Amino acid sequence: MKRQEMPFEQEQDEKGRKLDRRMFLAGGLVLAGASLAGCQTYPGLPDQAELPDEEFDYAAAYAALPDGDYTWPTINYKSFDRQYWRQVVEYKTREKPGTIIVDPYNNFLYWTLGNKKALRYGIGVGKAGFAWSGDALIRVKREHPIWRPPREMIARKPSLERYWVNGYPAGLRNPLGARAMDLWQGATDTLYRIHGTNQPTSIGKSVSSGCIRMWQQDVIDLFGRVPLRTKVIVLAKDPNAEA
């Protein structure tokens, strides 16, 4: 049966519609591919905050932060070296994404992201922060933790004995601040903590007491990213020191 010839104008219009449809579908696939390629997945908990980028609003990140019954004070972040601000940096490691690496010698905490990147926070390191190194897991996460002074601190300052049984109550003056993450090796509590601080000027410094201190806003940020059983490595030597 002979195919019926269609008018030239109709044939051109039909070809145009088919071409437009093919281009639309191809374009959709390209856009979908670009969208998928542009999606970034990060380790850790779902629904976590976006990572800092070039347009990150530090004023908002370090503004006064309402948190349950408390409001953590604004951090005067501009008075600190920018290296201690929360930021994504180049970081080479063989550890899996989602690992915390504490560098007490240079006052940094890294949360590894993969692809030679890490989210870095400035920290303050107390004497206890240099007393232990190695690998551990976060086995306990505490919001608004109480603080119980160690016996050696009570020996130096007997007035702290009253906090041994029930601990120092949560709040703005609590030495552990807004959050605490306790590190364990197997069934053993290392007594090593990553925690907030009510002394924000101690970030970037070695201080007399405590483990690993973070600004309240930063410890809350990290707390919202890392799940229980996150691996934590505390470096035993300065990575920048000459071999």
Residues identified as active-site: 195, 211
> Is 105 strand, coil or helix?
coil
Helices (H) and strands (E) in the chain, counts: 5, 12
Phi, psi of 162 (to 5 degrees): -65, -15
- CA–CA distance, 79 with 161 (Å, rounded to integer): 36
- CA–CA distance, 138 with 133 (Å, rounded to integer): 14
In the chain, alpha helices (H): 8-38, 58-61, 127-131, 151-156, 216-223
- CA–CA distance, 125 with 209 (Å, rounded to integer): 8
The neighbour count for residue 73, using CB atoms within 10 Å, is 15
